[in-house]
Structure 1
Amino acid sequence: MSSGATSNELASPPPAIPSADELVDRIRNYFPQVDGDYVRKAYDFAEEAHRPQRRQSGEPYFAHVAAVAMILADLRMDVATVCTGLLHDTVEDTPATHEQLIELFGEEVANLVAGVTKLGQMELRSKRTKQAENLQKLVVAISDDVRVLIVKLCDRLHNMKTLDAIGRAEKRERIALETLEIYAPLARRIGINRVCVELEDLAFKHVNPAAYESITRRLKLVRDQHTEEVAAVSQAITELLMSYGIDARIFGRQKRAYSIWRKLDRKGLTFDEIADIYAFRLIVPHPDDCYRAIGVIHQTWRCVPERFRDFISVPKPNNYRSLHTTVIGPNSVRIELQIRTEEMESVAESGVAAHWRYKNETYKYDPDAAQAAGGDPLERLRPFVEILNQGGDPDEFLEHAKLEMFADQVYCFTPKGDLISLPTGATPLDFAYAVHTELGHTTVAAKINGRERPLRTQLRNGDVVAIVKGGVRQPPAGWENLAITGKARAAIRRLIRESERDEFSRIGRIMADHAFRREGRTLIERDLKDAISRLELKDVDDLYETLGRGRITSADLLNAAFPGRLDEREDVTDRELIDDDKARLYVRGRGLTPGVTLHFGECCSPLPGDRIIGLLRPERGVEIHTIDCETLARYDEDKMDEWLDLAWTAEAEENAVSMARIQAVLHNEPGALARVAQTVGENRGNIANVRTLHRAPDFFEMLFDVEVYDARHLANLLAALKMNEIVVSAERMRGETEEWDEE
């Protein structure tokens, strides 16, 4: 047995560049059969390639790649990955080529270098979209080979250790912030805790220098004051376990600065209020010994309620396995304990990197060893790939990926006993999408522990969740608000986009056919090739969708299809007045006749700025609908001659004040309605009517009739409401707003 403090820091920048022999010896410690000549060849090649280059600190650039290789060796990575660390910048920053690396080092190393090279522009820029695109590139690269991510993490770790060499504080802070938001969570995701905690502390130093300095100063003071106490606790635990014949390696460790700061920030504590600055780790030979040890400890010292966690029987999603407990130990000192085996310790510190093993005289990734340790941690990257596959813009991907990376976990079960891990606060809808995307799309209800519960119910540890399927793949309004996971929200948004695309394409095809008929022509899709090219669109489906969305008009299509056609749009456009209680609204469109009566469809309540279509109604004039109105979706295509392509005039957009209806779910707290009214007023809106639909102990659902200028104003108002903490959800409601519906 042994006790004392330990440090897990990886290969801090040495005063001198490590030699090739030092690197080979480091690898030989865990892989005696290493081909030293191969490693030396990679070392010499990288040293020569980078010889003219210097870092901002003034040191040779080769010092950086050599340090990255040493960090990879500290993680006990395979030879190909260590050599990739040496060579990872050669293709991007030197005259070396991919073909040259294949010839000298083989395809495996060359392809790994190529994967890292693709990420060469990964430094954070000022724009959020650039950060989002960077994360997309990273996910694409690591989906091919996770070792690309491991090299990139070690590259970032050494760059963070030398970040002080960058002169501009603003740039240091940007790089550090990206490290906290992207790289450290990814390291934790695949279980490489040693890299994660160092990245967090190094980044914290630059993101919040004052807090970092304050906490590290206090930690040093605590360390100086409690050295004897830590040794005494270690000795007491050692003697206790020895008396029961349990062999254990015990050491105390002080918690990291960033970890402490997060607890202070999350719980609103002061430094003096944190009782568990130190934690003790017990390493025992076998899993059975973990339970024997914790039994002895709980028999001897009182356990703090709700502080026991069994991550051996239910591992964390990144395969972390350990027993956690907190007890009131000797001298009434509060002691936090982690009990695990050597294998569990290796996985806890190195994650996916712990599963490189000897196999057939080679040192390769061993999925069998990973599975035996509790599941392949590479699976933890699968949600990011799935989110990427859902499409959407880079900002949307970044939003959903961060949801996946930062959440604490809750563990639930399928009726068959399969474990599903989800972020805290997840709902049955998140559960359904975690099982399978198609199950999420067809979910209609859920049973939790045998009882049917609302889909917005937050799941708790140990819940058994059964999903009730339906046959419809069309998500209802507000569906996305019932989910919190990145995977579920991305899948829902993709389904909504697909549904919208199909409907806009259908409407666009009707509008195109109608426009051609008015010109006395027949729409033949194969004759639209030139028009598609002139409009810079991809294909006929893109043309129909673009027309249906209102991004081009029917006249634009005709002019592109028939370049010699006389543009008569202004000559045949009439303006007609719609009388409204609040304003005079104007629309224009081909086919309107003087004196025709115009009125809004009662089903969709169009606002200025909405894309609109007119329907010719016998004896009723023209009925105006939004282009996504359900009336149009059900409309008989044989009656497409009754469609009019309309648009709001500038007068309508500038002068209109119209009524819109908002359905909102609010937290049931005092002053909730006043806070909503304040948000509406601050955003230039006015609440005309209010009605409560449903009241529950925690929430109540309300309808608001709000005066707005146009559709954009309403969208901004909804966005502001959703940012209000009192608002659970807020959506635009379609339909007549002059009178309330009867109960």
Structure 2
Amino acid sequence: MAVKELKLGEILEELEGKYPDKRELIHQAYEYISEKHKEQLRKSGEPYVTHPLHVARILAELNMDATTVVAGLLHDVLEDTDATYEEVEKLFGKDVADIVEGVTKIGKIRFKNLKEAQAENFRKLILATAKDIRVVIVKLADRLHNMRTLHYLRRDKRVRIAEETLEVYAPIAHRLGIWEIKRNLEDLSFKYLYPKEYERVRSFVSQSLEDLEVYLKKFVIPKIKEEIAKAGIKAEITYRPKHLYSIWQKTIRKNISLEEVHDLLGVRIIVDTVQECYIVLGIIHSLFKPVPGKFKDYISLPKPNLYQSLHTTVVAPKGRMVELQIRTWEMHLRAEKGIAAHWAYKEGKVRAHDEEIFSWLRDLVENIQGSKNPVELLDNLKRELFSEEVFVFTPKGDLIVLPVGATPIDFAYHIHTEVGNHCAGAKVNGRIVPLNYRLQSGDQVEIITSPNKKPNLDWLKFVVTSKAKNRIKHYIKQQERESFIANGKRLFEKAREALNLSSEDFLAKLRTKVRFKDEEEVYIALGSGKLTINKVINLLSPKKKASAEKAKGENRSRVSMDGLEGVMYEVGGCCNPVPGDEIYGVVTKGKGIVLHEKNCSNLKYLIQHFPEKVFRVRMKPEGKFKTRIRVKARDRIGILSEIAKNIAERGSNIWESSTKTMGDGTAFMDFTIDVTNKKHLREVMRSIKSVEGVEACSRLYS
């Protein structure tokens, strides 16, 4: 896409000449923006109208329809002038107005930080694309012209815009297959973000190109032309240097020097038919030795944006490696213009046979819906936009394209959510493989399902597609919700009975104290521990609260102990002893006697340093006593609610709980519970150990 300086009148004449049927509409749009932007100037000092004209010209070079070109002319009027959507719709039609409004919405987004800005921009761009892809194509043209004039801005703004361009717009141009825009955006961003590296690569390429051109013209292209002509094939052979950013990225990716980059110039051979592509490939491989592993057939297996070509690298004379691309004219147009080459509008609708081109886009929109966190969204989209693909097959031979690193679980969710949710195993090429097996191109994949199989949290450690991640998370959340509701209903009845109220009265009273939408929300709050029975009783029955506090005070402040009747005491929070433990009292100033369990580290210290203050006591149980336990388990869906249920079924209440899950899937759950004595505590702990996945349950000392 050569950048040629033209006067405004020349650009307008060029646009009107390219779209003769819409000459009047284009001229009307130009007069409209000239009036609306008449008082505005660019940072360069030029009239503002130069910008929308250049944007429209870029769109025309992409062979976009006249509606898109007119929208390009008008793309800033809603944001920067007093123009309204209704006015634009009345003068230029609904399609134009909708595109301009879509571009305006993208441009108006403002964010707290760059990370969030990138993520949200991705979301806006992709979702806008889902409605009308022309919105994004106009935005890409807008960004390209802004990048071409970026030198007029302050350095900090240049860096910010270039960074956003490289992170947001260039990958979308890549995914849409608009190679020319991607190339320009990347090189311009490279220039402003890494000026020293840019100049080094530019200087090296400019010095190397002349020698490479001479080499290709002398040793490679004449031989190919001669043999192709003998085969009676009409072909155009050209060469073009790789763009600077891609050369620099290759040196980083492969950890090589610029001198080791052998494919600065790529040879392109364009023929009329697919059959001729393969004939030319055979001719080239007969002339030069192909480099193993460097042949890719994107004709049989197109990229998701429908890019097609044969790629091969050969060893030419003097041992130099040369990269060649072979394609038809139709493929060439698609490679240069990308998805823009496929859009032919009639009354605003895409042709039916072009529908398949955008299937990846609908999947992308669906896949990002579950990403709420900006960083997670950005990571998901980068994975979707940048990742290489593997090509695998269903047992029936249907082709499935997945990112590199995809597993049978990713494959299963790609087929259908229910297949993923009930995936029990997988066969690859007829052999059973683990679910974290990394699929390879050419694999035939068969998913084994079972109605009893459910998604596992461990799956999130190895799946790579955002669709699989979101479906697994959704299922787990749904299962937890159902578990919370079931547990909450049981606790609801327990609280209601304690207050001796009917369900209706209980809910009515609770509604005056706690905000909730419906009964189910109450169950979830109770089942998840956000709302405890004790809190409910305290809220709804102050008398019961007062009597409970009184009883608690009596129980906690005075107790009968052998040899010491009615002495003030306090239970040590470090070990929380219960009746039945081997308990020692420590005389403490201001607190009376503090009770410790024999294994308590604080007690051992006191015995060592103040033995005269320590003596053996025996508690006579009255009521319940709080103590703390720790559970070690393999984390899985619903395990927390099962443990809570078992605790409750043994007549114990949970006062506090916390859970921490480690990287290897091990969960540590700490509970503060009440028990009557040590025997009761053992029963509760034994019940907890019976839960599937629980590896250990022990007393917790601080």
- 1:144–1:305 CA distance, 2 compared to 1 (3 A): same
Between 333-342 and 84-93, report the one with greater CA deviation.
84-93
Residue 656 of structure 2 corresponds to which residue in structure 1?
Answer: 647
Cα separation, 2, equivalents of 1:350 and 1:563: 74
- 1:710–1:291 CA distance, 2 compared to 1 (3 A): farther
Q: Which has the higher helix share?
A: 2
State the shift of 1:477 in Å: 3.2
Cα separation, 1, equivalents of 2:15 and 2:503: 71
State the shift of 1:595 in Å: 5.3
Q: Is the 8 A contact 1:356 1:364 kept in 2?
A: no
Residue 275 of structure 1 corresponds to which residue in structure 2?
Answer: 262
User: For 1:545, which of 524, 527, 534 is the aligned residue?
Assistant: 524
User: For 1:498, which of 450, 467, 478 is the aligned residue?
Assistant: 478
Residue 366 of structure 1 corresponds to which residue in structure 2?
Answer: 351
Which AA in structure 1 matches 2:16? Answer: V
User: For 1:22, which of 14, 23, 27 is the aligned residue?
Assistant: 14
State the shift of 1:735 in Å: 3.0
- 1:66–1:312 CA distance, 2 compared to 1 (3 A): same
Q: Is the 8 A contact 2:37 2:48 kept in 1?
A: yes
Cα separation, 2, equivalents of 1:59 and 1:582: 80
State the shift of 1:458 in Å: 0.9
Residue 620 of structure 1 corresponds to which residue in structure 2?
Answer: none
Q: How many residues align?
A: 620
Which AA in structure 1 matches 2:655? Answer: L
Residue 623 of structure 1 corresponds to which residue in structure 2?
Answer: none
Trace 1:231-270 onto structure 2 (pairs within 5 A).
231-232=217-218, 233-270=220-257
Could you list the runs of 5+ residues in structure 1 that have no partner in the other structure?
1-7, 586-591, 607-625, 666-702, 712-732
Could you list the runs of 5+ residues in structure 2 that have no partner in the other structure?
557-570, 578-596, 604-620, 673-692
Cα separation, 2, equivalents of 1:269 and 1:570: 74
Q: Is the 8 A contact 2:240 2:266 kept in 1?
A: yes
Question: Is 1:224 matched up with 2:224?
Answer: no
User: For 2:625, which of 596, 600, 603 is the aligned residue?
Assistant: 596
Question: Is 1:628 matched up with 2:608?
Answer: no
Q: Is the 8 A contact 2:629 2:671 kept in 1?
A: no
Cα separation, 2, equivalents of 1:382 and 1:266: 31
Q: CA-to-partner distance for each residue in 1:138-196, whole Å, 9 max, x for gaps?
A: 22221111111211222222222222222142x43333222222222222212112211
Which AA in structure 1 matches 2:50? Answer: A
Cα separation, 1, equivalents of 2:72 and 2:482: 48
Q: Is the 8 A contact 1:387 1:486 kept in 2?
A: yes
Residue 388 of structure 1 corresponds to which residue in structure 2?
Answer: 368
Cα separation, 1, equivalents of 2:114 and 2:639: 34
Residue 670 of structure 1 corresponds to which residue in structure 2?
Answer: none
Cα separation, 2, equivalents of 1:540 and 1:633: 20
Residue 616 of structure 1 corresponds to which residue in structure 2?
Answer: none
State the shift of 1:107 in Å: 1.3
Which AA in structure 2 matches 1:596? Answer: F
Cα separation, 2, equivalents of 1:270 and 1:572: 80
Which AA in structure 2 matches 1:152? Answer: K
Which AA in structure 1 matches 2:625? Answer: V
Q: CA-to-partner distance for each residue in 1:505-540, whole Å, 9 max, x for gaps?
A: 4334444443343333334399559838x7565554
Residue 62 of structure 2 corresponds to which residue in structure 1?
Answer: 75
State the shift of 1:127 in Å: 4.6
Residue 736 of structure 1 corresponds to which residue in structure 2?
Answer: 696
- 1:19–1:278 CA distance, 2 compared to 1 (3 A): closer
Residue 54 of structure 1 corresponds to which residue in structure 2?
Answer: 41
User: For 1:522, which of 502, 507, 518 is the aligned residue?
Assistant: 502
Cα separation, 2, equivalents of 1:13 and 1:560: 76
Which AA in structure 1 matches 2:351? Answer: D
Q: Is the 8 A contact 2:630 2:670 kept in 1?
A: no
Cα separation, 2, equivalents of 1:127 and 1:559: 47
Cα separation, 1, equivalents of 2:646 and 2:697: 22
Cα separation, 1, equivalents of 2:416 and 2:37: 48
Trace 1:73-472 onto structure 2 (pairs within 5 A).
73-122=60-109, 126-169=113-156, 171-232=157-218, 233-357=220-344, 365-368=350-353, 370=354, 376-390=356-370, 392-472=372-452
Cα RMSD (Å) = 3.7
Residue 22 of structure 2 corresponds to which residue in structure 1?
Answer: 35
Cα separation, 2, equivalents of 1:529 and 1:437: 42
- 1:543–1:203 CA distance, 2 compared to 1 (3 A): farther
Cα separation, 1, equivalents of 2:363 and 2:550: 55
Cα separation, 2, equivalents of 1:319 and 1:118: 29
- 1:542–1:213 CA distance, 2 compared to 1 (3 A): farther
- 1:324–1:627 CA distance, 2 compared to 1 (3 A): closer
State the shift of 1:737 in Å: 6.6
Q: CA-to-partner distance for each residue in 1:687-741, whole Å, 9 max, x for gaps?
A: xxxxxxxxxxxxxxxx8x99x9999xxxxxxxxxxxxxxxxxxxxx8531779xx
Which AA in structure 1 matches 2:78? Answer: V
Q: Is the 8 A contact 2:30 2:73 kept in 1?
A: yes
- 1:661–1:147 CA distance, 2 compared to 1 (3 A): closer
SS of equivalent to 1:81: helix
Cα separation, 2, equivalents of 1:61 and 1:570: 75
Residue 696 of structure 1 corresponds to which residue in structure 2?
Answer: none
Cα separation, 1, equivalents of 2:140 and 2:522: 44
- 1:661–1:435 CA distance, 2 compared to 1 (3 A): closer
Cα separation, 1, equivalents of 2:535 and 2:626: 27
State the shift of 1:349 in Å: 1.5
Q: Is the 8 A contact 1:55 1:61 kept in 2?
A: yes
State the shift of 1:641 in Å: 10
- 1:75–1:114 CA distance, 2 compared to 1 (3 A): same
Q: Is the 8 A contact 1:474 1:496 kept in 2?
A: no
State the shift of 1:605 in Å: 10
Which AA in structure 1 matches 2:279? Answer: R
TM-score (norm 1): 0.75
State the shift of 1:562 in Å: 8.8
SS of equivalent to 2:367: helix
Residue 32 of structure 2 corresponds to which residue in structure 1?
Answer: 45
- 1:363–1:106 CA distance, 2 compared to 1 (3 A): closer
State the shift of 1:415 in Å: 0.7
Which AA in structure 2 matches 1:248? Answer: A
Which AA in structure 2 matches 1:221? Answer: Q
Residue 717 of structure 1 corresponds to which residue in structure 2?
Answer: none
Q: Is the 8 A contact 2:95 2:348 kept in 1?
A: no
State the shift of 1:358 in Å: 8.0
- 1:483–1:288 CA distance, 2 compared to 1 (3 A): same
SS of equivalent to 1:337: strand
Q: Is the 8 A contact 1:356 1:363 kept in 2?
A: no
Q: Is the 8 A contact 1:400 1:487 kept in 2?
A: no
Which AA in structure 2 matches 1:181? Answer: E
Cα separation, 2, equivalents of 1:21 and 1:266: 45
State the shift of 1:602 in Å: 5.2
Q: CA-to-partner distance for each residue in 1:603-647, whole Å, 9 max, x for gaps?
A: 7599xxxxxxxxxxxxxxxxxxx9824334678xxx779463412
Cα separation, 2, equivalents of 1:111 and 1:77: 16
Trace 1:611-622 onto structure 2 (pairs within 5 A).
none
- 1:229–1:80 CA distance, 2 compared to 1 (3 A): same
State the shift of 1:102 in Å: 1.6
TM-score (norm 2): 0.79
- 1:18–1:476 CA distance, 2 compared to 1 (3 A): same
State the shift of 1:213 in Å: 1.8
Q: Is the 8 A contact 1:124 1:175 kept in 2?
A: no
Q: CA-to-partner distance for each residue in 1:454-513, whole Å, 9 max, x for gaps?
A: 011111110000011111463223111131122211221222222223323433444444
